[in-house]
Amino acid sequence: MPDLEEEKLTYHLSELRKTILAIIVSLIVLFPLGYFLAPYCIDLLIQRSFSNNTLTLNFFSPMEVFLINLKIGFVIAFIIGFPFIIYKIWNFLLPALYEKEKKFLKTAVICSTFLFIFGAAMCVAFVLPLIIKFSMSFATENIKPILGISNFVGLSGWLMLAFGLMFQFPIAIYFLVKFDIVSVEALKSKRPYIVVILLFIAAVVTPPDVVSQLLLFVPTYLLFEVGLLFASVSSKNLLK
């Protein structure tokens, strides 16, 4: 019996290694494309975030812009490869699937990709301009902002990833309920704890200001409720 458990553990570790390796290889393959698109994406971020300002961004070391392009290239590679990455993750977590569930998994990957892109787009379209406008409101005659490209791009990339990943909440909730890992009633009863957890996550993954934290927390909590609603309707249909 211990040998059987050990074999199962070895098998799962081997599958985990293959999954991680496949994700890393996919990012390496997509990185050149991401690096090529990085300057265009940086220009788009600047135009969108500073549309009503005459500020320019500055760099303070010879290699700073090059390193920024590397970082943004990685973010773009992650976004492009997200459907494959999320598929590999779910495929590892749910290996023993029936044919019907495999088809459902494909649908979930499409929905997950849409939510990730929607979250990142929402960040670029609404959140970044609001954060920049909020930060510019502290400027006075004696206090003039001089913004560095590295800080701005780092903030943008991190927020885009944070919003994209946090928008996966409905899919995660649906899977937890569908595969009987947790019940809808249990999730409903734990709402206060979930609110605290989401506030904590929003505080960790966003800059230390209330505006950006609320901008991430509010849609994430609404998406949690959406996922709970879909999971509740699905579980009721299964009982009929």
Residues 151, 49: contact at Cβ < 8 Å? no
User: What is the rounded average pLDDT of the residues 19-40?
Assistant: 92
Sorted by sequence, the CB contacts under 8 Å of residue 111 that are 6+ apart come out as 170, 171
Tokens matching residue 118: 């929607």
Per mean pLDDT, which range of 115-119, 190-194, 209-213, 222-226 is the poorest?
Answer: 209-213
Q: What is the pLDDT of residue 223?
A: 84
Tokens matching residue 30: 């997509």
Residues 75, 157: contact at Cβ < 8 Å? yes
What is the C-alpha to C-alpha distance for residues 108 and 171, in angstroms, rounded to an integer?
7
State the pTM of this model. 0.71
Q: Does residue 152 have a pLDDT over 60?
A: yes
Q: What is the pLDDT of residue 29?
A: 94
Sorted by sequence, the CB contacts under 8 Å of residue 165 that are 6+ apart come out as 116, 119
Dihedral in degrees, nearest 10, Cα atoms 129, 135, 136, 137: 110
Q: Is the dihedral of CA 5, 9, 14, 16 positive or negative?
A: positive
Number of neighbours of residue 239 by Cβ within 10 angstroms: 6
What is the C-alpha to C-alpha distance for residues 66 and 79, in angstroms, rounded to an integer?
20
Is residue 148 classed as helix, strand or coil in its secondary structure? strand
pLDDT interval class at 33 (50, 70, 90): very high
DSSP assignment, residue 98? Answer: -
User: What is the rounded average pLDDT of the residues 66-83?
Assistant: 87
Q: What is the pLDDT of residue 238?
A: 47
Domain boundaries, the chain: 1-166, 168-240
Number of neighbours of residue 33 by Cβ within 10 angstroms: 14
Instruction: Count the residues in the chain.
Output: 240
Residues 235, 174: contact at Cβ < 8 Å? no
Q: What is the pLDDT of residue 37?
A: 92
